[in-house]
């Protein structure tokens, strides 16, 4: 699978590809058919990729939450950075995201674009709260988080802690509309539109309120 934006392809590396990444960027780029970028991994990055690889092996069914997602600029068919999560969603439906763009491609909106897309994917799964940490003096990183709607919530173990909450869905309104449509069809078939619409609204309210209540319960973190 892969995610796409207007300018980017965002590819989650499988376990075999993570092993290649641990060997070096050149090996991975060759396997993916990418234009060589010439990027070198420092010791910190090598250690991080090695830890991610081990976690992917330990959680093969959930590896998408632990792997590196390669950020590829479509115009150049070149890897320009990495993004990913540090964990699968916990019991409070929280995950932490990390990201980085190669220096030559910074300040062009690529990180903002990639974060937005990956957060959308996480919210489509079982995440409700996406967290990120950044150093207090890292102004570009803070701008990227601000642009994506993250709010500062305090301090984490590695710096300032930011969080983005999953947008709320008004299930009541949605299901009332669906109920009205279905009720209108049944009412027309039964030659009694009023009764059909009343039944549709009642069912819509019941289903919508149940889903809204379940969503509210899931968001509680006490």
Domain ranges of the chain: 3-165, 171-219
Confidence check: pLDDT of 119 > 70: yes
Per-residue model confidence (pLDDT) at position 127 = 92
Helix (H, G, I), strand (E, B) or coil at 108: coil
Among candidates 61, 55, 64, which has minimal Cα distance to 83? 64
Q: For residue 32, what are its two tokens? A: 């993916």
Report the chain's C-alpha Rg in angstroms. Answer: 22
Confidence check: pLDDT of 171 > 70: no
Q: What is the pLDDT of residues 35-84, one digit of tens each?
A: 987 777 777 778 888 999 999 999 999 999 999 999 999 999 999 999 99
Per-residue model confidence (pLDDT) at position 191 = 65
DSSP secondary structure string for all residues of 39-82:
----HHHHHHHHHHHHHHHH-GGGGGGTSPEEEEETTTTEEEEE
Confidence check: pLDDT of 183 > 70: no
Q: How many CB atoms lie within 10 A of CB 139?
A: 10
- Work out the average pLDDT over 1-9: 94
Cβ neighbours of residue 133 under 8 Å, at least 6 residues apart? 96, 156, 157, 158, 159, 160, 161, 162
Identify the CATH number of the domain defined by range 3-165.
Answer: 3.40.630.30
Mean pLDDT of the chain: 85
């Amino acid at each position: 699978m892969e995610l796409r934006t207007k300018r980017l392809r965002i590819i989650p590396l499988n376990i075999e590809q993570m092993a290649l990444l641990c060997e070096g960027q050149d090996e991975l780029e060759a396997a993916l058919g990418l234009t060589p970028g010439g990027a070198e991994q420092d010791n910190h990055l090598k250690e991080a990729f090695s830890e991610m690889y081990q976690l992917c092996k330990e959680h093969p069914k959930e590896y998408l939450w632990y792997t590196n997602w390669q950020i590829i600029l479509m115009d150049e068919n070149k890897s320009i950075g990495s993004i990913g999560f540090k964990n699968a969603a916990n019991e409070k439906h929280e995950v932490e995201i990390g990201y980085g763009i190669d220096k030559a491609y910074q300040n062009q909106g690529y990180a903002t674009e990639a974060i937005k897309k990956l957060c959308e994917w996480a919210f489509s799964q079982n995440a409700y709260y996406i967290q990120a940490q950044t150093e207090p003096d890292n102004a570009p990183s803070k701008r990227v988080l601000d642009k994506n709607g993250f709010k500062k919530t305090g301090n984490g173990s590695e710096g300032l802690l930011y969080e983005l909450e999953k947008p709320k869905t008004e299930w009541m309104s949605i299901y009332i509309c669906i109920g009205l449509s279905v009720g209108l069809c049944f009412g027309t078939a039964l030659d009694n539109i009023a009764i059909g619409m009343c039944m549709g609204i009642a069912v819509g309210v019941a289903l919508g309120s149940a889903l809204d209540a379940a969503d509210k319960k899931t968001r509680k973190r006490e």
